[in-house]
């Protein structure tokens, strides 16, 4: 008999209840809603939240501890640690997650004290019972979470405890913990040897082990076993082959790696593996290696657009020159020019844009004849061609670039600014060009548009343009910016002011410490420390009222379980399950935008990164837009698997309307971006989406 378990944030009565049971259910619901309010407000409400951590109802306790994974308050870490021995394994699990989310905020000394207690004391009394919802036990989760904040000593201690145990104990968790350490730049020979042990025999290797190895990258212990490691290219699981390809691209050992990578790029049945293999091949010196060059050229014409786009991009990163005598190189450059010029409109504009960018990188000024942004009506293509012109380094491109400065289309204006920046970097001694670019930057800085201001502030932080003269312009721009719409611009201006180290910026930056946005506050603290050498963290408010809250629990209770929506796109339909019990306010915002405002109707997917994410939900269509408000992050123990639906952000608590869907597992996003759903059907549609593809509508399925 197949068992189906449902997890509800808001309890639903399936059977007749006694009056006492109904009253208990009502009280539980009230407490959970109160927890959600406090989580969203980032407030412990003068101890009210702390009281709920010891509530007699384990469901209430679990939700309270899970809330601290988003609140991230180090003052309650001792309570989180104590909860690892709670009678409820669900509570233990939530506490382990919250510890991993919070402990990274501690100084090194306190982290070392905490990790020692967790590894050598707390783990022994934790539940090893697997949790259906998260597919792992509380003890396993704690081991994995330690990888988010632990020091080198923590990695050593975990391997001392579990690395040589037989039969293997906590192996899956230890692998992912090693991966999370590696994401933070921490690894060790013992960690690598442990992973190598798990890929013997090769058929038994998991994708998580391959992922951990590629996160570690080029390491002597991996090189010593490379003859064995490379055999993973024959593995039946595409996620293993995919991560192996990335690893081989980091190690760059031609003798062992080139042939397997070529086979993966040419013949693998999974497009994601081909994408990673092509990227990896571009890391090698390919001069004189005609076979690999032929592989790249053939892939220009692959039926999967992601593979073709990646091949064009990869060739652009090879550093090869058209003057090389190889016939294969000559043929490949001819193909690249043909696609970049696209005289007969035989190629979609995305391929043309990528080819033009690659050609500009490789051929410099001689590529200018193949790049003509004025010849095309598609603004996205024009923008990419403008950037490509900048990459050529050709001074002759200046006139064409400046035509688009102050263009009514902000996307083209910004692209011309970025192109001028690139052109100036390639001609730093051309004082006239640098002066022209600087003047254009100042005009953009004064435009008031978030994309232009952010770009201008970023360029002013480049050493070529870093000058005291900019201070007054930056401060004037900063004074006119507001959250939530201008968060990224404020962050970038603060960063540039920090580089300038001018005391005139201190007063304005201190004002930013009162902005109702944590990411803005932290950016300002960093800038102030850079200028004054003083830590201003003590001036940050412990609590601030969000600009917008929506505690419409009545609306949430009307939503069906399971909650599914159909996203209708030009490529077909994507059916998504939304997690209203995991990220209720994110789900509510998403649904109200679509049902009450028709917000997503006609919007595009403005960002597509093959084998990573497709991203949409921006009313501007350039990645800089939102709904006019921001919501708080709702972090959870769920992880980014293939088809996970997440919220884009510019930092914690800056989410708006932009969402993304992953095309493969992305563990480095876990606990950093809100997960609020997953693809139920239509993953094939997700894997066909291209930049500028339209969303027709998003509808709730009854």
Contact 691, 570 (CB under 8 A): no
* pLDDT given for residue 132 in this prediction: 61
Contact 337, 305 (CB under 8 A): no
For the chain, how long is the longest CA-to-CA vector?
A: 87
- By C-alpha distance, which of 533, 512, 508, 531 is closest to 521? 512
Would you list the DSSP string of 346-387? -S-HHHHHHHHHHHHHHHGGGGGGG--GGG---HHHHHHHHH
Instruction: Reply yes or no on whether the pLDDT at 8 is more than 50.
Output: no
Mean pLDDT of 260-274: 99
How far is residue 633's CA from residue 313's CA, in Å, rounded to a whole number? 34
* pLDDT given for residue 128 in this prediction: 83
Would you list the DSSP string of 547-564? S-----HHHHHHS-SSEE
Q: Phi, psi at residue 604, to the nearest 5°?
A: -120, 165
Would you list the DSSP string of 189-251? HHHHHHHHHHTSSGGG--HHHHHHHHHH-S-HHHHHTHHHHGGGGG-S-HHHHHHHHHHHHHH
Quick: pLDDT tens for 383-425: 999 999 999 999 999 999 999 999 999 999 999 999 999 999 9
* Strand order across the beta sheet in which 613-616 lies: 605-609, 613-616, 659-662, 644-647, 675-681, 572-578, 563-569, 695-701
Instruction: Reply yes or no on whether the pLDDT at 136 is more than 80.
Output: yes
Band of the pLDDT at 166, cuts 50, 70, 90? Answer: confident
Hey, how many other C-beta atoms are within 10 angstroms of the C-beta on 399? 8
Instruction: Reply yes or no on whether the pLDDT at 76 is more than 80.
Output: yes
* pLDDT given for residue 497 in this prediction: 99
How far is residue 24's CA from residue 31's CA, in Å, rounded to a whole number? 11
Q: How many helices (H) and strands (E) does the chain have?
A: 32, 8
Q: Residue for token digits 């652009």? A: 316
Quick: pLDDT tens for 341-397: 999 999 999 999 999 999 999 999 999 999 988 888 999 999 999 999 999 999 999
Mean pLDDT of 51-80: 97
Mean pLDDT of 446-462: 98
How far is residue 194's CA from residue 159's CA, in Å, rounded to a whole number? 8
Mean pLDDT of 630-643: 98
Quick: pLDDT tens for 686-700: 999 999 999 999 999
CA dihedral 459, 411, 362, 318 (to 10 degrees): 90
For residue 193, what are its two tokens?
A: 């040897």
Instruction: Reply yes or no on whether the pLDDT at 10 is more than 90.
Output: no
Q: Residue for token digits 């076993």? A: 225
How far is residue 190's CA from residue 116's CA, in Å, rounded to a whole number? 19
- By C-alpha distance, which of 553, 622, 219 is closest to 414? 622
For residue 488, what are its two tokens?
A: 């990224």
Instruction: Reply yes or no on whether the pLDDT at 205 is more than 50.
Output: yes
Neighbouring residues of 290: CB distance < 8 A, sequence distance ≥ 6: 326, 327, 328, 329
Mean pLDDT of 315-325: 91
Burial classification of residue 597, based on how many CB atoms lie within 10 Å of its CB (0-12 exposed, 13-18 middle, 19 or more buried)? exposed
* pLDDT given for residue 466 in this prediction: 98
* pLDDT given for residue 16 in this prediction: 66
466-505 burial by CB neighbour count: b if 16+ within 10 A, else e?
eeeebbebbbebbeebebbbbbbbbbbbbbbbbebebeeb
Instruction: Reply yes or no on whether the pLDDT at 613 is more than 90.
Output: yes
Provide the H-helix boundaries in 301-364: 305-316, 327-341, 349-363
How far is residue 413's CA from residue 510's CA, in Å, rounded to a whole number? 32
How far is residue 389's CA from residue 340's CA, in Å, rounded to a whole number? 12
* pLDDT given for residue 13 in this prediction: 46
Instruction: Reply yes or no on whether the pLDDT at 131 is more than 70.
Output: no
Element (H, E) at 574: strand 572-578
Contact 247, 217 (CB under 8 A): yes
Average pLDDT across the chain, whole number: 95
Mean pLDDT of 178-189: 99
How far is residue 118's CA from residue 148's CA, in Å, rounded to a whole number? 14
- By C-alpha distance, which of 523, 668, 692, 672 is closest to 181? 668
Domains in the chain with CATH codes: 19-135 (no CATH), 428-545 (1.25.10.10), 553-701 (2.40.100.10)
Band of the pLDDT at 21, cuts 50, 70, 90? Answer: confident
Please count the residues of the chain: 702
Percent of the chain with pLDDT over 70: 97
Triad 253, 257, 259: Cα angle to 5° = 135
Mean pLDDT of 484-507: 98
Mean pLDDT of 538-546: 87
How far is residue 383's CA from residue 585's CA, in Å, rounded to a whole number? 36
Instruction: Reply yes or no on whether the pLDDT at 1 is more than 50.
Output: no
Instruction: Reply yes or no on whether the pLDDT at 218 is more than 80.
Output: yes
Q: Residue 58 to residues 88, 133, 535, 667, 672: CA-CA distances in angstroms?
A: 6, 16, 40, 29, 26
Burial classification of residue 564, based on how many CB atoms lie within 10 Å of its CB (0-12 exposed, 13-18 middle, 19 or more buried)? middle
Q: How many alpha carbons lie under 13 Å from residue 604 in its C-beta half-sphere?
A: 13
Would you list the DSSP string of 475-530? HHHHHT--TTTTHHHHHHHHHHHHHHT-GGGHHHHHHHTTSS-HHHHHHHHHHHHH
Instruction: Reply yes or no on whether the pLDDT at 105 is more than 50.
Output: yes
Contact 664, 654 (CB under 8 A): no
Q: Residue 305 to residues 246, 271, 317, 688: CA-CA distances in angstroms?
A: 20, 10, 19, 8
Contact 448, 485 (CB under 8 A): no
524-558 burial by CB neighbour count: b if 16+ within 10 A, else e?
bbbbbebbeeeebeeeeeeebebeeeebebeebee
């Amino acid at each position: 008999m197949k068992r189906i378990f449902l997890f509800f944030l808001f309890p639903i009565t399936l059977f007749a209840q006694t009056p006492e049971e109904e009253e208990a259910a009502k009280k539980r619901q009230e407490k959970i809603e109160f927890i959600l309010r406090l989580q969203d407000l980032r407030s412990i409400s003068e101890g009210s939240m702390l009281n709920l951590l010891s509530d007699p109802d384990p469901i209430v306790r679990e939700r309270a501890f899970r809330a601290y994974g988003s609140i991230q308050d180090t003052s309650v870490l001792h309570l989180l640690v104590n909860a690892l021995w709670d009678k409820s394994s669900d509570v233990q699990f939530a506490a382990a997650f919250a510890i991993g989310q919070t402990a990274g905020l501690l100084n090194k000394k306190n982290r070392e004290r905490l990790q020692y207690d967790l590894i050598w004391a707390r783990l022994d009394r934790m539940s090893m019972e697997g949790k259906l919802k998260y597919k792992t036990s509380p003890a396993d989760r704690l081991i994995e979470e330690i990888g988010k904040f632990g020091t080198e000593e923590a990695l050593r201690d975990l391997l001392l405890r579990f690395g040589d145990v037989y039969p293997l104990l906590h192996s899956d968790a230890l692998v992912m913990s090693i991966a999370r350490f590696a994401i933070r730049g921490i690894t060790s020979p013992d960690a690598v040897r442990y992973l190598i042990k798990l890929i013997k025999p090769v058929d038994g290797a998991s994708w998580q082990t391959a992922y951990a190895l590629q996160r570690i990258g080029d390491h002597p212990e991996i090189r010593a076993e490379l003859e064995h490691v490379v055999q993973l290219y024959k593995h039946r699981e595409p996620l293993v082959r995919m991560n192996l390809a990335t690893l081989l691209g980091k190690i760059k050992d031609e003798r062992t790696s080139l042939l397997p990578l070529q086979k993966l790029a040419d013949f693998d049945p999974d497009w994601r593996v081909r994408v990673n293999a092509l990227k990896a091949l571009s890391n090698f010196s390919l001069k004189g290696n005609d076979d690999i060059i032929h592989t790249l050229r053939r892939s220009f014409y692959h039926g999967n657009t992601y593979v073709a786009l990646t091949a064009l991009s990869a060739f652009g990163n090879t550093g090869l020159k058209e003057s090389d005598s190889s016939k294969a190189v000559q043929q490949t450059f001819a193909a690249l020019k043909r696609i970049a010029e696209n005289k007969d409109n035989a190629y979609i504009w995305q391929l043309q844009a990528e080819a033009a960018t690659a050609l500009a990188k490789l051929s410099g000024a001689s590529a200018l004849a193949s790049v003509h942004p004025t010849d095309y009506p598609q603004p996205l293509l024009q923008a990419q061609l403008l950037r490509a012109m900048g990459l050529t380094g050709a001074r002759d491109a200046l006139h064409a670039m400046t035509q688009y400065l102050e263009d009514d289309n902000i996307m083209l204006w910004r692209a011309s600014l970025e192109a001028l920046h690139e052109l100036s970097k390639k001609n730093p001694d051309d004082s006239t060009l640098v002066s022209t670019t600087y003047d254009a930057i100042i005009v953009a800085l004064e435009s008031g548009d978030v994309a232009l201001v952010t770009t201008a502030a970023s360029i002013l932080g480049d050493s070529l343009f870093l000058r005291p003269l900019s201070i007054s312009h930056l401060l004037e721009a900063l004074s006119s910016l507001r959250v939530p719409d201008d968060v990224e611009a404020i962050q970038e201006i603060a960063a540039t002011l920090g580089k300038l180290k001018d005391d005139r910026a201190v007063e304005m930056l201190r004002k930013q410490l009162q902005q109702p946005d944590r990411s803005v506050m932290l950016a300002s603290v960093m800038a102030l420390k850079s200028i004054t050498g003083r830590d201003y963290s003590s001036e940050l408010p412990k609590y601030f009222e969000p600009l917008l809250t929506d505690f419409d629990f009545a609306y949430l209770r009307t939503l069906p379980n399971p909650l599914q929506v159909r996203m209708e796109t030009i490529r077909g339909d994507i059916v998504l399950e939304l997690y209203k019990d995991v990220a209720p306010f994110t789900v509510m915002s998403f649904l109200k935008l679509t049902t009450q405002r028709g917000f997503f109707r006609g919007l595009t997917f403005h960002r597509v990164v093959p084998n990573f994410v497709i991203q949409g939900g921006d009313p501007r269509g350039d990645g800089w837009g939102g709904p006019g408000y921001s919501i708080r992050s709702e972090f959870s123990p769920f992880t980014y698997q293939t088809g996970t639906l997440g919220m884009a952000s510019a930092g914690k608590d800056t989410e708006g309307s932009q969402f993304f869907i992953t095309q493969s597992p992305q563990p480095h996003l876990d606990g950093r971006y809100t997960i609020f759903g997953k693809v139920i059907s239509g993953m094939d549609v997700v894997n066909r989406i291209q930049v500028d593809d339209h969303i027709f509508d998003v509808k709730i399925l009854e």
